[in-house]
Structure formats: C-alpha cells, structure tokens
C-alpha cells in the first residue's frame, strides 16, 4: 500500500460526467430471449433493467459525451488537459486506444492518452494512477474515464451472464488542488491473477495458417458466478478498511459507500459487514445493471447531481472484478458546479 503521509501536491476532483445509452432492455425483454423471468433476476441480483448501445454508438462515443460533461462541469478547456486515461475492458479496438480516440474527438491536443485495463476495478485503479501523476507534479489536469460496452460481448443465449450487464461511461477530471486541500485521501489496490479464469473474455485470434489451420472462436463473457460472488464479499470489506486506515479514518467517517454495481446481494453483504446503514449506500443497479468500469462513477455523478452527496461528503468507492482485481478509493467531494454560478 502507498504511504499517504508523504508530502505531495494535493489532488481534487473538479469535474464529473456520465453518459448512459438510451435503449432500455428490461428483464421482461430478456425473458423473450432466454428461459428466465423478472422475479428470478430481481431476487438474485436486484437488476430490473439495463441500457445498451445501438446503431453507431461505441465505447468511444459514450466516453466522449461523459468527457465533455466533466470538462464543462469543471469549466476546463480540452486543450488544457494534460493526460487522458480511459479505464476500459471492452474498447472498440485493441488499437488505437479509446483514450487516443477521445483525445482527438474532444480536441485535447496537448494531452497524452492511454487505456488502463482493470475490469470493474478500473475506476479505482485509474484514480490512483491519475492522482499519482498530479501528486508528483508530472501533470496538473488528468481526465479519467471509465467506459464499457458489455452488450456486444455477451452471449445473449446464456442466461447466467446476459442478465447482468449494461453499457455506460463515467468521467472525472482530477486537478492539482488550488487551495492546498487533498481530496483523494487514499487508494488501496489488489490483484490475484491465479483466479483469472473465474471471469474472462478470451481474445481468440487465429494462428497463421502455415502453422496450423484453426477456427476463430466466439468472444463472450465466461463467468463462474458463485466464485465471483464469494470473492467479492470476502475481499471488498477488508479493502475498504485498508483504504480507510491509509487515510487515517474509520468506517464511522464514511458518509457514503459507492460500491461497484454488480449485484444487490453483494452490496448488502458489504454494507452489513461494515456496519453501514442502507441510507449510506449508493445503488443504481436496478436501473443500469452492471456497467463495469463505469458503474462507480455513474453512481457518484448521479448522486452529486441529485444533491444527496454534498460538499465535504466522504465516500468509500470500491471495485472488484476480472483479473481478479479489487480496490477502494477514499474520496472527499468538494467541487462546486461552475455551471450553476
């Protein structure tokens, strides 16, 4: 774990954005494709509907809209952004990176850009990478995006996976804090590659035909749901406590828990293990399903816009997913919505 007591530049979040595609797929809709029903999906996951891309929508187009939102919120011009990090596991192409495509579309001509892969922990990993560039003085303004388009990588005949995921994008602009106050208080990150096979989307390329003839295989989500469930409820509470201790805080100091929106039963178990109340837990998976790397950011942004998360609220934002990866960021919300001035 990082030593958070060293003296570095303070970091704050000045911009927030999100974009969710408009096409809604309800549980009843999915029941037309596979043998399932609303009662089963709702009771096992808490999900009622999800949004999916259609037509020309792409991971890049979702991320682009979230990025513009965050820059407008912060009142920052694209050309003033130093670095764009896109946390994604389901980009439109292996290369170029989504980050480079967003850089071009928003006109962030002075920004470096790269993708980061940590599946549903991507936003937490990205926050740590972004804040370190600012803390060390390398960059002043870093645009962090989380986007995933799962709907194009699901087997819509597999009822154990196609019910879970939705598409979406979230954006945070991190800056060197002007008033010296640090708001990204601590980040805790972990990985266990030995369990990689529990949740994966293999990239099945074909060998050179001169070596051996072979068929290309489908590229869909493979998941051991029970193992992922057990993994999440066992490691995430420990990670939250670890991150809190890195910030010199305890569970009593958390105003809101913003967990990765995978499954309401996982969320409730984490809440109970930490002794938090339902009012302290932000959940929107009933509306959006599991939007993977976007989920924490979308939940954060919507509750800031709704006024639930207020100035100086302290949040524990925890992610978990393929890799396996997991982690927690402890963040204070302090930015003012400049559009309201």
Ligand X SMILES: CC(C)(COP(=O)(O)OP(=O)(O)OC[C@H]1O[C@@H](n2cnc3c(N)ncnc32)[C@H](O)[C@@H]1OP(=O)(O)O)[C@@H](O)C(=O)NCCC(=O)NCCS
| Contact residues: ligand X, CB under 6 A | 36, 40-41, 44-45, 120, 159-160, 163-164, 223, 225-226, 228-229, 262-263, 290, 321
Q: Residue 157 has which token pair? A: 């005949």
Tell me the residue number closest to ligand X, measured at CB: 225
* Of residues 68 and 191, the one with the C-beta less far from ligand X: 191
* Of residues 199 and 315, the one with the C-beta less far from ligand X: 199
* Of residues 64 and 165, the one with the C-beta less far from ligand X: 165
* Of residues 238 and 265, the one with the C-beta less far from ligand X: 265
In this structure, are residues 156 and 33 in contact, taking their beta carbons and an 8 Å threshold?
Answer: yes
Cα dist. 151→42, 101, 221, 292 in Å? 19, 21, 10, 11
In 117-246, DSSP assigns E strands to 141-148, 168-176, 184-191, 199-200, 222-223
The answer to whether the peptide bond before residue 245 is cis (omega within 30 degrees of 0) is no
Give the closest residue to 174 by CA, choosing from 61, 29, 329: 329
Least distance (Å) between residue 36 CB and ligand X: 3
Least distance (Å) between residue 339 CB and ligand X: 33
The one catalytic residue among 100, 120, 297, 318: 120
Does residue 242 have an active-site annotation?
no
In the chain, DSSP assigns E strands to 11-19, 23-26, 49-52, 83-90, 112-116, 141-148, 168-176, 184-191, 199-200, 222-223, 256-259, 313-321, 325-333
| Residues with Cβ within 8 Å of residue 12, at least 6 apart in sequence | 174, 175, 176, 177, 178, 181, 182, 183, 184, 334, 335
| 8-state DSSP, 121 | G
Does residue 260 have an active-site annotation?
yes
The one catalytic residue among 9, 150, 162, 260: 260
The one catalytic residue among 128, 182, 263, 290: 290
For residues 108 and 79, what is the distance between their CA atoms, to the nearest angstrom? 5
For residues 81 and 75, what is the distance between their CA atoms, to the nearest angstrom? 12
In this structure, are residues 226 and 232 in contact, taking their beta carbons and an 8 Å threshold?
Answer: no
For residues 280 and 67, what is the distance between their CA atoms, to the nearest angstrom? 27
Does residue 120 have an active-site annotation?
yes
Least distance (Å) between residue 84 CB and ligand X: 24
- Catalytically active residues, by annotation: 120, 260, 290
């Amino acid at each position: 774990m990082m030593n958070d007591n060293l003296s570095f530049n303070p970091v704050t979040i000045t911009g927030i954005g999100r974009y969710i595609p408009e096409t809604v797929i309800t549980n009843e809709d999915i029941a037309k494709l596979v043998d399932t029903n609303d009662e089963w999906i709702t009771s096992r996951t808490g999900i009622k509907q999800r949004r999916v891309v259609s037509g020309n929508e792409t991971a890049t187009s979702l991320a682009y809209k979230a990025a513009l939102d965050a820059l407008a919120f912060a009142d920052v011009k694209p050309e003033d952004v130093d670095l764009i990090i896109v946390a994604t596991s389901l980009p439109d192409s292996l290369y170029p990176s989504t980050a480079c495509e967003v850089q071009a579309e928003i006109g962030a001509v002075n920004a470096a850009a790269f993708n980061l892969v940590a599946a549903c922990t991507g936003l937490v990993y990205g926050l740590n990478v972004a804040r370190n560039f600012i803390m060390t003085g390398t960059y002043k303004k870093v645009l962090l995006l989380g986007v995933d388009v799962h709907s194009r990588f699901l087997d819509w005949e597999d009822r154990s996976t196609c019910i879970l995921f939705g598409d979406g994008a979230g954006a945070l602009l991190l800056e060197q804090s002007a008033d010296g106050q640090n708001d990204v208080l601590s980040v805790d990150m972990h990985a266990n590659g030995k369990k990689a096979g529990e949740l994966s989307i293999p990239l099945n390329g074909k060998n050179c035909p001169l070596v051996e003839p072979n068929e290309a295989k489908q590229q869909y989500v493979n998941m051991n749901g029970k193992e992922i469930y057990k993994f999440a409820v066992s490691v995430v509470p420990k990670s939250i406590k670890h991150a809190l201790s890195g910030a010199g805080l305890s569970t009593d100091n958390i105003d809101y828990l913003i967990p990765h929106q995978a499954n309401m039963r996982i969320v409730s178990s984490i809440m109970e293990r930490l002794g938090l109340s339902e009012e302290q837990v932000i959940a929107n998976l009933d509306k959006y399903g599991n939007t993977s790397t976007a989920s924490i950011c979308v939940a954060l942004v919507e509750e800031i816009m709704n006024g639930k998360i207020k100035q100086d609220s302290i949040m524990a934002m925890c992610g978990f997913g393929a890799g396996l990866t997991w982690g927690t960021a402890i963040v204070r919300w302090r930015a003012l919505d400049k559009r309201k001035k």
